[in-house]
Structures are given as C-alpha cells and as structure tokens.
Structure 1
Amino acid sequence: MPSLLRAAVCAALCFTTAAHAGIGQRFPSERKLVKDPVTGTMLTFLTSEPKGDSKIYPTHPQWTADGQWLVFRSNRVAGEAMAVNEASGDIVQVTEGGYTGMLNLARKSMKLYFMRKGAADGTLQIVEVDLAAVLRDSAAGRMQAPARYQRIAGTTPADLEAGGDMALDADEEWVYFRIGRAAAAKHLPAGAKVEANFGPRNMGAGPNGIARMNVRTGEIRHVVSVGFQIGHIQANLWNPGEIVFCWETGGKSPQRTWTVRADGSGLRPLYPEAPYEWVTHEAVITKDEVAMALMGHRPIPGGAGGVDAPATGVNGANPGQDAAWGDAGTREKPTGLAIVNLRTREMTIAGQTPSGSGLWHVHGSPDGRFAVGDDFSRSLWLIDRKTREMRMLTTGHKTTAADHPHPTFNADGTKIEIQSAMLSADGRSMNIVVVPVPEEWLRRK
C-alpha cells in the first residue's frame, strides 16, 4: 500500500475510534524490552507510561482465551478496563460504563465478566463482554454501540448487599460473589459462631456469605454462609463447582483458607493453620492444588531473625510488623511457598528465600512444574518444584510502588505477568510486564 494511502487509512481508523471514545478505543503501543540490570532477564513492558496501570489479582486469569491479550485496570479511561496485545503492544479499551470488583476472563471463550452498579441503589449488574467482537471491530475501525458487545447477564437484588470479589466457574455458566451480613445471617447454621474483628486493622467480623448467578439465565442461588468476613473468592478453573476463599482480616487470620462446593457442601478449612503460622495469598494453581505463603517476615522474639530491611518503610514496604498481630510469621517454624493438595490435603513447602521477608504473593504453573513468588524487596523468585532449585528472575521493582508485583503464570506455564514501578519516575506508578521462564528451565524434562 502506498505510504500516502496507508497514512490516510490509519487516520480514518483513528478518527472513527476517537469519535466513539468508548469501548474499542485504541491507544498507541508502549511496548519496551528492558534487560534487568541484576539478573539479565529480558522483561517485556507492555505498558511504560504512568497511566495508573494494575494487573488483575493472581487468583484470576490474566490472558484472554486465545493467549494473545492481557486485560488490566488503568486510568487511561477512568474506571474502565484495557487489553494489551502481547506481540504488538496495541492497547484497546474493552469496557464502557465502568465496573466494580474483580475482572474475570473466561478460559474457554473470548469473554470477560464483571460487576457494575445497577440502576437501583444497592443492586449490581453482572456484565458479559464479547471480547472477540470488540477487538475485531476495533481493529477494523467499525465500532458499534456498546450494547452490541456488552450483555447484562443478571442483576443482584439490593437486599443481598452483593459486592467484592467475583469468580467465574470452570463451566463458565456460574459466577460466585460475596453477599452482606443481613443476607448471610438468614442462611447461617444454628449455633454458628459469629466472629468479631481480628487484629489491628479491625476487619474480619461476620457473618458473610457467597451466592452464585447463572450467566445465561440470571438465576441466583445461595452457596454458603460463615461467621466471618469473606475475601478473595476464587473458582477452581479446572473443576466446576469448587470454590476457594479466605477469612479476610487485612493480615493474620485465625484460619485463613477455606474451600466449599457450589451447592454449599464440603465446607472446611483448606489448610488448618496453627496460631504461630501467618498464612496468606492463596491461589488455585492446578486442578488439584492451591499455592499459599507461610510468611517468615517477622523477627523471632528475643532472636535475630526476621526481615533484613527496617520494620517500617515508605508505603508500608514491610507490613505486618505491628506487635498487635502476636508472634505469628516468624522463622522459628517452617515457612515459605506452600502448596496444598485439595484431594489428599497434604502440604509441601516448595521453597523459601534464605533471608529477608520470605515469599509473599505466590503462584504456580498449571502443569505443576514451577512455582513463583515475590518478596518485600519486590524481587521475583522462580522455583523448580521437582528439584527445589530457586532462581531470582528480576529485582529492583521499587518498594515505593503503588502495589506489589503479584506474579501470575500464563496457561501454558512459560511466562509470568507482574506489575512494576521499575520505569516510573515517581517510584509509584506501575506498568504491565511479562517475565519469561528461562529457556533452559523449560527444556528440562
């Protein structure tokens, strides 16, 4: 195509998208390859401008079903989600009208699900986005009305007080979400203990519950009620009807991890923890396994253990040091990246950093070969689960960052997404980054 004609076509496409300035709006590539100055790992920064980017939480998928796009949160358009093409760096707005809570990417189809405030006070809509149509029409510069791409699957009634995390089931027919105290209390078993707040953040009081909605029919059913505050609801992406969630206190919980079936049966602690254990950041990583961190970030009372860095820092670089949390989270007992088998209930520790905070936010490859975790220094550690070998992949992502790296593997276990402030002039604004698993590790049998 002659250069003048090509320029005219590009201008027309940009005008069409810009005129709509909503779902399908395109932004220029910011893709950069950056060599980690310490480890030598080649990092792919898919965004590199200070636009308020943050990735989806590690409990949920990051890549679209075709493996080509990563969906993330951004202030490029306030309150809307973006998708970035890993190969080209093209950025596309994929929602219009806002969202609240978790972004849920389907694994079998090019669909995105999320919650949005409803027309009436206290109601929430469950919205489905046809990502394939959005990305196709955006590339062609022929966007249609938002209703062509976004479908309201159903609306939660105000008396449910729905909100917080939402998770898409492996069958992609149901979504799970938290319900409020009054609604949960109606289903609480007789004699169940209702917990008070726990810890210095004054969080964790119950009751709370989980409900589910069928995204095809809008039907709503109750799942379970418990006597504590629920957080981090996630679905097992391989086994329909299996849910993992936590008792959320903002820090150490008396019993952090829980699992239940979609019909309310099988409620139990996932990993029964001891008072001295600080369990956090659980994530379903394979069809039978959940990774979690047994924190080793606090000094042993009367000893010399604990983090290398000062106990306090800018932006809470080393949280959880408050005396009010008790003595949990020291290395007087085993700590590290733990993996629990949902079937046998056995727990193993895949690895732990030799010093410092220990591993904090954790994940694993779906094939069971690798595990990954970040630490208080925002360094990223890869673990070979067979040999227990550990390798630092990247570091220097700034403890002043607005959030933590939150590593998450892709579906085939060959790369990891993080969020990073490495390139940020203010030390806080983050970007979307893909970190490769080393080729020599992938070649291992």
Structure 2
Amino acid sequence: MKYMKKITSTLSSKLCWLGLIMMGPLGAHHASGQWVEGLDYSSRANVDKTFDMIGENAFGQHFPSEHFTFEDEVTGKTVIALTSSRHNNSKIYQTHPQWTPDGRSIVFRSDRSGKGLAYALSMEDYSITQISSGDDGSDFHLGWNKNLAYHIRNDSLIILDLGRLLEETHAGKQVTKADYEQIVAILPAHFQPNGMALDHNEKYLYFSTRVEDGHSSIVQVELSSGAVEEILEVPFRIGHLQANPYKEGELMYCWETGGDAPQRMWMASINESREVSNRPLFAETDGTWITHEVFLGPDHIGFNSMGHLDRLQQGPNGIYSLNLRTDELVFHGQQDGGGYWHTAGTSDLQWIVGDTFNGDLYLIPFGKPEAAQLLTTGHRLSSKSPFSREAHSHHSISPDGKWLLFNSSLLTASDIMMMRLE
C-alpha cells in the first residue's frame, strides 16, 4: 500500500507539472504570480539571479547584494567584499572616478551578463544594477559634478543619464536604454578611441587615438556642440589619459610601453585660448621605472618608482608625490619584498595608500613613511611580482576621504572590496 501511495503521489505530481507545461510558463493561469501546487512563489521572483549564474544581457536589470563583511586575519580591521561571485569583477581604473557625484553608487565592470559591461552598486543596500549592454563595453567615465556617464559606442560619443536611470529603475520602472542616452558627437571613422578624460568643468571630453608611424593624438570633443578636434600629437603610444579633477585644462598621460618607458609621465595644459603646451613630469634616468601616476589634489600627483628588480634598488624607489607648480618631490616610503606598486591619496594631502605585490595595503601619513600602518593583507596570495594573474589593486579613495576601494583575489579571482579609512 505504501508503495502504491508513492506511485500515486508521483503520478499526480507529474500530471500537475504536465498540466502547467501545457498551459505555458509557470503561473500563466494566475496573472498576478507564480502559483505551483497551490502556493504563490511570486515574492521570490528574483532568487534565480544567484551569484553563479550568467544573467541575460539586460539593461537596467537588478542583481541582489553579494556583500560579505569580514575581519582581516592580521590587522583585525573590517573589510567589505562588495562582490563575491565567480564572475570577474573589477573597479574602474584608478585614474578615473569610481563613485557617482552624489556618493550613492559605485560603478564597476563585470562579466556577469557579458564581457566587460558596466554596473552600478548601491552604497545603501549593495544591490547591483546593469547600466550598459550590447556593444557598450566598459570604458565609462562618470561625471565629476553631474550624475552622468560618458562612453563611446562604435563611432558615437554618448552621455547616459545615470542618475535618472538609477532612480527610475529602483522605483520599479521598466527602462529602455534609448530613453536615457544622448549622442553628443559622431567621431571620424578612422579614429580608434582609447581611454577618456573629462575636464573638470565638464565642457570638454578627451580621448587618445593611434595615428601613423607609432604616433598618438589627443582628441578634444566640445560637449555642447559636438565639435571634434585633434589637439596634440606625440611620437609614441599614449596610455592612461586622465584629467585633473580639480582644475580645468590639465591632462596627464603616459608614454605607454607595457613596461618601463623612457619617460613615463607627461602633462598637456590648455589655456583659455585653447592653446596646448606639453611637458614631461619628473625627468627619469636609466635606473628608474615609473608607474601608476594619479592626481592627488589640484596641484599634486602621486606615482610609484618601482623597486622589484635589483638594478632598480640602486637608486630612489618607492611612492612619491610631485608638486606640479614647484616640482617639489616628497618621498612616502618603500616596503621590502619588491616594494610598493600602486598609490592613491586624499585630496587634502593628509594620507597616502600604497599596496605591495602580495596584496598588502598600507596607510601612510603624507610625507611620514616611518608611520605607515598596515590596513589589510593577502589580496594577492601567491604573488611576489607584478606579473602574476591575480588582481591588481588599482585602489582609489572616495572624494570625501572616508572609503578605500580596491580589487582583490582573496575570495575569488577578482572581486571588489572596500574599507573605512579611519
């Protein structure tokens, strides 16, 4: 009898599922929910979007929070893993803004819905919203003051109304990408845009492009008119183009080689008449390898002089800052085992943050390397050089100086983590 009851129960279940299939998608007979075996599962409509599944490439869709808080095993400090999925997640490169101007969201890159798309993560509940799709790619530049995102798709420079998108999609509105986009310029077909820099006044946007014989140009786009103009050509490949976030008309860029450049750092200055001057920053010698330059404030940049090779340890190496007006150089320290790698700083010039190849991050009082404090450890567990596959920290500090944001390989191959700067 027990066996017969089991067969009857199984058959009844199968017939029920067959009936549901014949009626169409689950819940088709109840417009308001997902009814199965007399129970309404509509309140759990989004649980299928788990961390390990690849979602549809859908503009405006939401993913649940993945955040995970833990104490660093060495320092005891609290770290927040903003992502913890098997997908490859990484922050925007350290030369560009990470937070929306209102401070309510972080924009990052992920392959959860396709290769290298852009997503916004809420600072309030850590939920994630997809803000690009299709051919958009991930090269987004957030506004300094306006809650917009700039990006290039094919031959078009596009402005995304990010603030309105996030507000309306979080309110439950069904969104269509075209309703939030504005094409501001059509680029010449022969351009190969690489990187973007948004001027402090948000009137001009810049990018670099390759030209003949290994040369590169910086291209200017006037956002109000869409006028496109090449303003500077140099006889090398331009990389890491960035605008001074605090002062109009200043662009820093590097001679990009994929390694040690003859003269890494350069600055293009544009005056009120739109005339351009160009100069190197921090004259290098054969014994220096400069990398990862960033703006620290309106008048200062930070950079790292590598010390991971014997020949580089013969001369000055470690983290430095440079005054753009006076050329004053300040040393912020070096660590053993290959030394520091990336740098970031607060705009009030109170703090510097540096990381090492094994993924340890240090907080350094400006100009006082002897007082460096270990913040968090082990974010590149197997690395002793810059050439492993583990995540590059590329850390950034929030505009208010309260948060440190960085990439990590502590939990998975590449996650985004954040911690308070006390």
Unaligned runs of 5+ in 1: 1-6, 118-123, 183-204, 300-326, 439-445
RMSD: 2.3
Are residues 9 and 63 of structure 1, via their aligned partners in 2, closer, same or farther at CA, if it must alter by over 3 Å? farther
Verify: 1:395 aligned to 2:374, yes or no: no
Q: Describe the SS at the equivalent of 2:276.
A: coil
Q: Describe the SS at the equivalent of 1:115.
A: strand
* Segment of structure 1 superposing worse, 206-215 or 24-33: 206-215
Counterpart contact for 1:416–1:437, Cα < 8 Å? yes
Q: CA deviation at 1:9?
A: 8.5
Counterpart contact for 1:282–1:293, Cα < 8 Å? yes
1:54-65 → structure 2 map (5 Å cutoff): 54-65=90-101
Of 302, 320, 338, 1:357 maps to 338
1:147-162 → structure 2 map (5 Å cutoff): 147-159=178-190, 161-162=191-192
Verify: 1:339 aligned to 2:321, yes or no: yes
1:249-268 → structure 2 map (5 Å cutoff): 249-262=257-270, 263=274, 265-268=276-279
Q: Alignment length, in residue pairs?
A: 368
TM-score when normalising by structure 2: 0.82
Verify: 1:132 aligned to 2:163, yes or no: yes
Q: Describe the SS at the equivalent of 1:435.
A: strand
Letter in 1 for 2:186: T
Verify: 1:175 aligned to 2:209, yes or no: no
Instruction: Provide Cα deviations, 1:57-108, integer angstroms capped at 9, x if missing partner.
Output: 0000111111121100001111421011123111001123333463211121
Letter in 2 for 1:289: H
Q: Describe the SS at the equivalent of 1:102.
A: coil
Residue aligning to 1:45: 81
Counterpart contact for 1:290–1:342, Cα < 8 Å? yes
Counterpart contact for 1:352–1:358, Cα < 8 Å? yes
Counterpart contact for 2:149–2:162, Cα < 8 Å? yes
Verify: 1:423 aligned to 2:411, yes or no: yes
Q: CA deviation at 1:10?
A: 5.5
TM-score when normalising by structure 1: 0.78
Are residues 337 and 283 of structure 1, via their aligned partners in 2, closer, same or farther at CA, if it must alter by over 3 Å? same
Counterpart contact for 1:401–1:430, Cα < 8 Å? no
Residue aligning to 2:70: 34
Counterpart contact for 1:81–1:94, Cα < 8 Å? yes
Residue aligning to 1:435: 419
Instruction: Provide Cα deviations, 1:8-31, integer angstroms capped at 9, x if missing partner.
Output: 99668999xxx9962210001111
Are residues 50 and 12 of structure 1, via their aligned partners in 2, closer, same or farther at CA, if it must alter by over 3 Å? closer
Distance between the aligned counterparts of 1:369 and 1:10, measured in 2? 48
Instruction: Provide Cα deviations, 1:176-221, integer angstroms capped at 9, x if missing partner.
Output: 1012213xxxxxxxxxxxxxxxxxxxxxx73111011122321112
Counterpart contact for 1:134–1:143, Cα < 8 Å? no
Distance between the aligned counterparts of 1:337 and 1:239, measured in 2? 23
Residue aligning to 2:353: 372
Unaligned runs of 5+ in 2: 1-39, 49-54
Distance between the aligned counterparts of 2:223 and 2:133, measured in 1? 19
Higher relative contact order (CA 8 A, sep 6+): 1
Verify: 1:89 aligned to 2:126, yes or no: yes
Q: CA deviation at 1:285?
A: 1.7
Distance between the aligned counterparts of 1:50 and 1:351, measured in 2? 35
1:69-84 → structure 2 map (5 Å cutoff): 69-79=105-115, 80-84=117-121
Letter in 1 for 2:103: G
Counterpart contact for 1:367–1:412, Cα < 8 Å? no
Distance between the aligned counterparts of 1:397 and 1:384, measured in 2? 22
Verify: 1:227 aligned to 2:227, yes or no: no
Residue aligning to 1:240: 248
Distance between the aligned counterparts of 1:68 and 1:8, measured in 2? 32
Larger Rg: 2
Letter in 2 for 1:208: S
Residue aligning to 1:280: 291
Distance between the aligned counterparts of 2:300 and 2:127, measured in 1? 34
Q: CA deviation at 1:350?
A: 1.5
Residue aligning to 2:5: none
Letter in 2 for 1:413: G
Are residues 402 and 125 of structure 1, via their aligned partners in 2, closer, same or farther at CA, if it must alter by over 3 Å? farther
Verify: 1:383 aligned to 2:331, yes or no: no
Letter in 1 for 2:166: L
Letter in 1 for 2:214: G
